[in-house]
Structure 1
Amino acid sequence: MEHNYLYLNIAEAIASQIRSGVLREGDKLPSVRMLCAEHEISMNTAKRVYLELETQALIESKPQSGYFVSNLYYDEIPLPQVSSPILLANNKEPKEIIRKVYSNMGNRDITLFSYSTLYDDFLPLAKMKKEIVAASRAMVHGGVEYDSVQGNINLRRMIAQRSITWGGSLKEDDIITTNGSMSAISLCMLALGKPGDTIAIESPCYPGIFQLAIDLGFKVIELPTDPVTGIKIDALREAVDHIDMCLLISNYNTPLGSCMPDENKKEIVELLDKHDIPLIEDDVYGDMYFGTQRPKCCKAFDKTGNVLCCSSVSKTLAPGYRVGWVSPGKYKNKIMHQKLVHLISTPPLMQEAVASFMKSGNYDKHLRKLRKDIYSNYQKYLNTIITSFPLGTKVNRPQGGLSLWIEFDPRVDAMDLYDLAIAEKISIAPGRMFTVQEQFQNSIRLCIGLPWSAEVEYKLKRVGELSKQLLHNE
């Protein structure tokens, strides 16, 4: 009997050849019968291989002719530049831009490319509703009482078991539950810092992170960041004598989409540990990889407990569930104190439901389908951007996550583009909202969490047309 996922292995091998350029646009692939003979598989398995590649928009079928590599244009589009912020503490928070963009949150009359979240068919809503009902029946008093300060034991146990997927070996006692990943990050900042302290972050960076830091009275240093490999370690090394803590999204960060190589993660962990600088790691996108293997966390290289690893199900199940956690290492007592002071407890019902969903195997099943669907979405978004946006537009090529970072010609002002787009009920995220410095004025972030449709394609093309309009007006 053929292995259930044999077709995925064969599909990934062909996909790798396409991505690497071994197979190029227009190349004809073996017929279904030839694929059966080459790999000694059934006709049904061979068809599933090509269906998988079609779903990823890597190949296309032509009636009476067979299967061909799609027109992807990968070699023709440049990557965004490595960011080059000034290595000085800064706090020029773009409050008005952030307010404008987030004022549309939840408005389904607008096409929301601006928020890094999943929508509609990507979410297992029906299954989770059943889990919530079952949890309310199973829990004493229906889950209405306070839970322990550390959080739901079943959820902590499942998170500990799952830590092996990213190179960890956590125990349930190593974990504290929170109200989402930002809640975990907030508790870490409160526990580790005081007004006047300096925190180092990526550049560009998720605005909620530097907003929180500034509200707590911290100074912010942005580090140069590569769209493929993450922060430049030499810049971090230069900054260590001037910072009190560091916060990084090491896997598929938003908005740039970079993923640090393992050797970089190890070097960063050792560098910060040597200087006794705690590292807060946000791994909220780690499970959303496009390849065959989940990336490790910085926490996997932590030998002294100096890394506080935060995550949640907000990007994989639903943001509204507010189920998150932190593995705080040697700072556990400090985090527990902050949680008691600021939260007292976390709602046990949703945590129990998520724990049950994980234990049943349904979460992993959901993730397998989600990764495939998001990757297909990514391909369609990328192809549309390449064909519809101005010539010379730079686009990142993330290997996971939900963010596309687009860099236009310097003559395109992202705020002007935002104003034109929102007038047509399209919301984008201008690049300036991801920094506390005056940079990224000609960049935007687009989220790929909206399921592909004719309307999404039309609206995405309109963003490209509007950016061309701004160029022609110059």
Structure 2
Amino acid sequence: MTNKPVQINAKFKYQKLVDEIVVAIESGLLTGKLPSVRKASKDRSVSISTISQAYAELERLGWIFSESKRGYFIHQTRNENSKPQYGHDITSISNGRSLAESVQYSLNDPNVFPLSSTAPSSVLDNEKVLNRLSKKTSNNRVFQKNLEEPIAGLPEYRQALSRYWLSQSLLLTQDQIIATHGRNEGLLTALLAMNKSGKAVAVESPTSFYFQAVISQLNFDVIEIPQQHNYQDELMLLELAYSTHKFDCLVVNPSFNDPTGRLLSKGDKLDLLHWASRNQVTIIEYDRSELYFSCDKPSSLVNLAINHSIDNLRLISIGDFFDTLSPTLKLGYMVCLNCFQECLLTRQTTLEPVNLHMQHIITECLESGQYSKLLRNLRHQLRINYIKANTIFSELLELGTYISQPNGGPCLWFQLPKGVSSHGLWEMAINAQLSIAPGTVFSFSNNFEDFFRVTFALPWDDSMESALIKLTKLTKDFVK
């Protein structure tokens, strides 16, 4: 029987119920025993079948467990460990240290299973589709002499992106879009263009290893703002850091943060945008909003800034097709609000033009509707992989281990019991030919030693399942 892709954003009733119950558990409103299926059906005015599906899903995800003739109960460890703390101390770091080279090297070792990787598009093999698009566009004269080099990218490519976003109620012109070789180059361009003074750069913490790799190349000092569960508390820390350090740029990953999986609410995102506008701080967003799989599509910062007409805001939103189509694609884009010329000049003077044939391929992919179809397939498979991985890892909850519950993105974020370091687990995993990402690689100041990150976004086969089962056993043995 073949699995058919489904439209994830058209959420079923039971999925909405699952989300509501998870929020209630996380907030501490639900503890102990859940209402019976019949009582919940009556209280919520939904069918018994809907409640049964929701409870079954929650059990698969590890939030609840059932006991014969007694009913359904919430995992106590899930409730107690549902909100890891990242501290309240703002850290200023003079950059220049080496970053977790061993984690990177492990990704290139064919004998090590790469659970530390984070390429969402790896779950599907789109090679045939991309090869077909490549052949279809190969008659374009990519080597034609062109005295007016399209530094911002091919007009057709930028127009295709504009039309794609217009279908999602985001009005952008091609004069706000710059083609890049991918997210790394996008961030590099943004930082060079917006931080000419060489001031420190602020980042949320934990922060993406990709952010660290790029910022370290520039040798900028860094201000780490620890993530808070109440985003108003985080904004207060941001204000405190700004009053002390007066940074020009803030780099954020507000939708499915790497590594925590955090998704900021629309209200929190708007508060952040207004704060940046008031303080004239440029926001650089790594936009992963396309990677949702069990919620409605979240708004990107650029979407909110335009649709809410936030004035005096300089904002750069970075995206690429490495995340959504194939890890082999070196093509992305920058959306530049109120800073297009600065970014374009920086790109022109410091970086090479983007491959024209690659732009033709993605233009055809966007215009033909193929991209939307491939995204639906991607979200469907990410959700399947997430559920399977979560089921395997649920055994760790009994040990007091926290496991994130993201609604999108490619990875899970773990916190080991107090006093247990992920460095030792990393050594055990490498000896067993598995690679994980220890928590300290997500901090410039080596914080989060008791955390680690694992991907579920790899092709699901026997080797993937075996690797997750092996890691679960290693973690249990290590914690005990």
Superposed pair shares fold, TM > 0.5 = yes
Q: Distance in 2 between matches of 1:190 and 1:7?
A: 39
- TM-score after normalising by structure 1: 0.83
- Residues 6 and 462 of structure 1, relative CA distance in 2, 3 Å threshold: closer
* Partner amino acid, structure 1, of 2:91: L
1:224-243 matches, within 5 Å, as 224-226=226-228, 232-241=234-243, 242=245, 243=247
* Partner amino acid, structure 2, of 1:17: L
Counterpart in 2 of 1:301?
A: 304
Q: Distance in 1 between matches of 2:367 and 2:258?
A: 29
Counterpart in 2 of 1:65?
A: none
- Residues 20 and 200 of structure 1, relative CA distance in 2, 3 Å threshold: same
- 1:92: Cα distance to partner? 6.4
CA contact (8 A) 1:420 1:466 kept: yes
- Residues 129 and 276 of structure 1, relative CA distance in 2, 3 Å threshold: same
Q: Deviations over 1:188-213 (max 9, x none)?
A: 10011146411111110112213322
Q: Deviations over 1:23-45 (max 9, x none)?
A: 979969xxxxxxxxx9xxxxxxx
Q: Distance in 1 between matches of 2:60 and 2:89?
A: 40
Counterpart in 1 of 2:179?
A: 177
- 1:456: Cα distance to partner? 1.9
Moved more, 368-377 or 161-170: 161-170
- Residues 471 and 128 of structure 1, relative CA distance in 2, 3 Å threshold: same
- Residues 229 and 458 of structure 1, relative CA distance in 2, 3 Å threshold: farther
Q: Distance in 1 between matches of 2:203 and 2:262?
A: 14
Q: Distance in 1 between matches of 2:97 and 2:398?
A: 27
- 1:379: Cα distance to partner? 1.2
How many residues align? The count is 435
Query: Aligned pair 1:348/2:356, yes or no?
Result: yes
* Partner amino acid, structure 2, of 1:440: F
Counterpart in 1 of 2:200?
A: 198
**Of the candidates 419, 424, 438, which is equivalent to residue 432 of structure 2?**
424
Query: Aligned pair 1:73/2:65, yes or no?
Result: no
- 1:463: Cα distance to partner? 1.8
- 1:231: Cα distance to partner? 8.1
- Residues 292 and 161 of structure 1, relative CA distance in 2, 3 Å threshold: farther
- Residues 348 and 255 of structure 1, relative CA distance in 2, 3 Å threshold: same
Counterpart in 2 of 1:363?
A: 371
1:106-125 matches, within 5 Å, as 106-118=108-120, 122-125=124-127
Q: Distance in 2 between matches of 1:398 and 1:141?
A: 41
Q: Distance in 1 between matches of 2:231 and 2:382?
A: 21
- 1:301: Cα distance to partner? 3.2
CA contact (8 A) 1:431 1:444 kept: yes
- TM-score after normalising by structure 2: 0.82
Counterpart in 1 of 2:14?
A: 14
Counterpart in 2 of 1:86?
A: 89
**Of the candidates 266, 273, 278, which is equivalent to residue 269 of structure 1?**
273
SS in 1 for 2:454: strand
Counterpart in 1 of 2:101?
A: 99
**Of the candidates 126, 129, 133, which is equivalent to residue 128 of structure 2?**
126
Q: Distance in 2 between matches of 1:240 and 1:158?
A: 38
Q: Distance in 2 between matches of 1:469 and 1:151?
A: 52
Q: Distance in 2 between matches of 1:18 and 1:249?
A: 25
Q: Distance in 2 between matches of 1:305 and 1:338?
A: 19
Q: Distance in 1 between matches of 2:181 and 2:235?
A: 32
- 1:95: Cα distance to partner? 2.4
Moved more, 320-329 or 213-222: 213-222
- Residues 408 and 463 of structure 1, relative CA distance in 2, 3 Å threshold: same
Counterpart in 2 of 1:33?
A: none
- Residues 420 and 190 of structure 1, relative CA distance in 2, 3 Å threshold: same
Q: Deviations over 1:154-178 (max 9, x none)?
A: 2211221233466531111210000
CA contact (8 A) 1:281 1:309 kept: yes
Unaligned runs of 5+ in 2: 23-32, 39-46, 64-73
- 1:221: Cα distance to partner? 1.0
Unaligned runs of 5+ in 1: 29-37, 39-45, 61-67
- 1:291: Cα distance to partner? 3.3
Counterpart in 2 of 1:31?
A: none
